[in-house]
A and B are shown apart, each in its own frame.
Chain A
């Protein structure tokens, strides 16, 4: 049903987008913050990387994207830790502002075509030859490196403090850790990863568009939750790898949907439904169990009810 080419591109895209899933793992799961900066940060990664690649610096583009993402995360963190803006609103405010910033990065144009531009992928193609699965190798390598770095980071003292901040802020303050600082570092790292994801994608598909990041937070969450559902519980390693797995599976779902002629315009709705259902699942389960229990009790009690 799926051709090898489709499987390969699903794997490639899955790897690239898994950086967003891992970023949300850090902000949404570890820090317990729904970070709405994600959409804008992703687009910013596209914009920075495309602009730099067009100027002849594909690698510098990735580095700049990481820095730009960290800045975006810093602003969201500043709003919520120092200025008392509720965390969801802080992300939305930054996200809105980023729209203009992203346009500016792309020279006030809504897209950057890069058909003949040298990208990290064309460089890999030159190195490995035409027939090697160079796109898969590059995207998988980037994902792997980021994943390993993230897990190592979460094992350091700073990483432990960030994890504890999401787990029990009271206890963190009592351990002489400044929660404002740990939240800031966490959001900077998460958005740097999101931005890197956008940066790799822009070079992968050889174009950047101002709307590429729209709905990215939902897509990332869908991937994260698919991964968590399938790979259930485990240590940090399992959780991070589950995010990658979930992202790849999500891309397979999309590829399948496209294959059976679901219009590509419907994909965002599909993602929204997946996320909505996945997050609601525990509550739905509980309500169903309650209804069953009540029905059983009524049947048993029969007419004895007053």
Chain B
């Protein structure tokens, strides 16, 4: 489904601020794979997502999605098939537009055939209301309200719906529950799991929660200094504890994981 070959990116090359953000990343995702990614700050997790989503063109390597080489495709084209969510709930929705209008925009991605002058129809509205009711937040009764009135959790749930309204080939989740309170975070995570499973979406999810990293999805990746240092799936992953994971990381990366948030999450469970 997704094939990254030798993807590398260096920011500010030739200056004192030179930073190798990605160095020779290789990754192959099978259709329906749900992989979690952990790593300390600056390991290159978000940069990897930026490369896949097209925020910049990598210095080296190629990115192939579903048989199509998208290495040089601009970001707005890629978003036809790649859904993305950020940690900040404010980034995914337009606050001064209504829930309905936001959903209509997300729906644009599928509308190859419809004219740019078409309007939101009653059928669209019914479909939006039906999908909103699946979130169980009562948003289907507030479709004419501006999104700016919603709470962070509601906005993030709406963003999740928008990212998957048209089933994407790939869903990128960048710590999308990290800014929410624990109860809301759990709810959004549950929604994520059910939507991803229901539509068989291939998914990459960055998390700082080691427990989530091992229990969610079918594969765990760990990143360090712009490289993927650990890739565990299948039977090998079952029964693995957080401590095992940290040990494997230290062995492969050459040093222990030193991220407070990640380590703290160990004791949360």
Contacts and interface: CB of A to CB of B under 8 A. Distances in A.
B12 interface: no
Interface stretch (B16-24, B103-111, B250-258): B103-111
Interface string A221-262: 000000000000000000000000000000000000000000
B104 A167 contact: no
Contact of A177 (B90, B93, B108): B108
Interface string B70-110: 00001111111001101000111111110001101110110
B76 A160 contact: no
B95 A168 contact: yes
B116 interface: yes
Contacts of B106: 175
B101 A168 contact: no
B111 to A, nearest CB: 7
A175 B93 contact: no
A177 B108 CA distance: 8
Given A175-B109, A177-B105, A167 B76 contact: no
A158 B83 CA distance: 20
B222 to A, nearest CB: 27
A interface, by DSSP: helix, strand, loop or mixed? helix
Interface string B136-168: 000000000000000000000000001100000
Interface string A77-112: 000000000000000000000000000000000000
Given A175-B79, A176-B80, A157 B94 contact: no
A206 interface: no
Interface in A92-136: none
B76 A178 contact: yes
Contacts of A176: 76-80, 108-109
Contacts of A295: none
A266 interface: no
Contact of B108 (A157, A167, A179): A157
Nearest to A152: B119
Given A157-B114, A158-B117, A160-B97, A173 B105 contact: no
Nearest to A178: B76
A294 B123 CA distance: 56
A173 B102 CA distance: 13
A173 B97 contact: no
A265 interface: no
Nearest to B85: A174
A125 to B, nearest CB: 36
Contact of A171 (B75, B93, B119): B93
A152 B102 CA distance: 17
A107 to B, nearest CB: 38
A170 B91 contact: yes
Query: Considering residues B102, B105, B106, B108, which has the most beta carbons from chain A within 10 angstroms of its beta carbon?
Result: B105
Given A160-B104, A175-B105, A168 B93 contact: yes
Contacts of B92: 170-171, 174
A163 B100 CA distance: 14
Contacts of B111: 157
A5 to B, nearest CB: 42
A25 to B, nearest CB: 13
Given A173-B79, A177-B105, A155 B119 contact: yes
B120 interface: yes
B118 interface: yes
Contacts of A167: 94-97
Nearest to B166: A176
A179 B74 CA distance: 11
Interface in A130-175: 153, 155-158, 160-161, 163-164, 167-168, 170-175
Query: Considering residues B93, B94, B114, which has the most beta carbons from chain A within 10 angstroms of its beta carbon?
Result: B94
Nearest to B94: A167
A171 B116 contact: no
A177 B76 CA distance: 6
Contacts of B90: 168
Nearest to A168: B94
A127 to B, nearest CB: 32
B97 A157 contact: no
Nearest to A30: B96
Contacts of B74: 178
Contacts of A160: 97, 101, 104-105, 108
A255 B74 CA distance: 53
A181 to B, nearest CB: 9
B18 to A, nearest CB: 24
Contacts of B80: 176
Contacts of A173: 75-76, 79
B75 A164 contact: no
Interface of A: 153, 155-158, 160-161, 163-164, 167-168, 170-179
Nearest 5 pairs of A and B residues by beta carbon: A167-B94, A158-B116, A176-B79, A176-B80, A164-B94
Given A161-B116, A171-B91, A175-B162, 11 more contacts: A155-B120, A156-B118, A157-B115, A157-B118, A160-B97, A164-B105, A168-B91, A168-B93, A174-B53, A174-B83, A176-B76
